[in-house]
Amino acid sequence: MDQLTLKSPAKINLFLHVLKKRDDGYHEISTLMQALDLYDELTLKKTPKDVGLSCDHPGCPTDRRNLAYQAASLLLREEKVDQGVHIHIQKRIPVSAGLGGGSSNAAATLKGLNQLFDLGLSVDRLHQLGAQIGSDVPFFLYSGQALARGRGERIQPVRLFRDYWLVLVCPRLEVKSGWAYRNLRISLTRKRKELNCNVLESKRCFLDALSLFENDLEEVVARKQPIVSQLKAILKNSGAVRSSMSGSGPTVYGLFDQKPQAQEVAVRLSRGDWQVFLTQPIPANI
């Protein structure tokens, strides 16, 4: 096999709690993540040597700043593969939007190269490599539903209720996650609730649990970008049973019970100056 094409899904954070600043400069977090049927498409093609990357999105870097590029370089070097690869990314997931597109691309690259070069690497080994590239990368190596802790690399797959639809609204601006974390004021006195993952397959328990949790980065981003709060209010007033920012934003999602209602809201909001996606959870990565 000389070429392989695979899908790379987006994710949302159903909640994101920032617990403390770590000695290594990262932040200790607890977050519940859900993969979505919104995909980039990656094509990996063997080459004689080195790593090359192209993308159909002008805002996507094609050099060492790209996480897929980093993933390929790391795996080929660590596993002493004596060939190279060219990666082409067909983007649909917005860039720097809190939807994990770059991390997902990196994880897909690791999995794809493992298959393309028939390396036989375990998920644990891919996890070790992925954690060196980015905190969200390990999530995309497992199931489409997981609780992530540490700096995001400690993954606990869980089973979640997923019979709902999401309207994603992404303003045409970028928010760097590093900026959001640096500007967060962490409350050392706030008491954190414990999440019981064993009951989250039930719709009522799932929604009840989400109502108790939030995204700690949302307030930081909304102070600089008021559109985040405005979009949350629009989605809530349109009938969303929950609205929240994903990751470090600026994407805001609304969770809807029924597809027709979600479709109507997506169509209406598509007339605004932002990107809108109608999507739903997936049970596992493809």
Catalytic residue among 11, 91, 111, 232: 11
Q: Is 191 a catalytic residue?
A: no
Query: Which of 71, 75, 179 is closest to 134 using CA atoms?
Result: 71
Catalytic residue among 40, 136, 216, 232: 136
User: Distance between CA atoms of 267 and 246, rounded to whole angstroms?
Assistant: 21
Show the 3-state SS of 181-220.
Answer: HHCCCCCCCCCCCCCCHHHCCCHHHHHHHHCCCCECHHHH
Measured CA to CA in angstroms, residue 225 lies from 90, 148, 154, 219, 229 at distances of 28, 27, 30, 10, 8
User: Distance between CA atoms of 136 and 100, rounded to whole angstroms?
Assistant: 7
Q: Is 216 a catalytic residue?
A: no
Contacts of 55 (CB under 8 A, 6+ apart): 62, 66, 88, 89, 90, 91
Catalytic residue numbers, as ranges: 11, 136
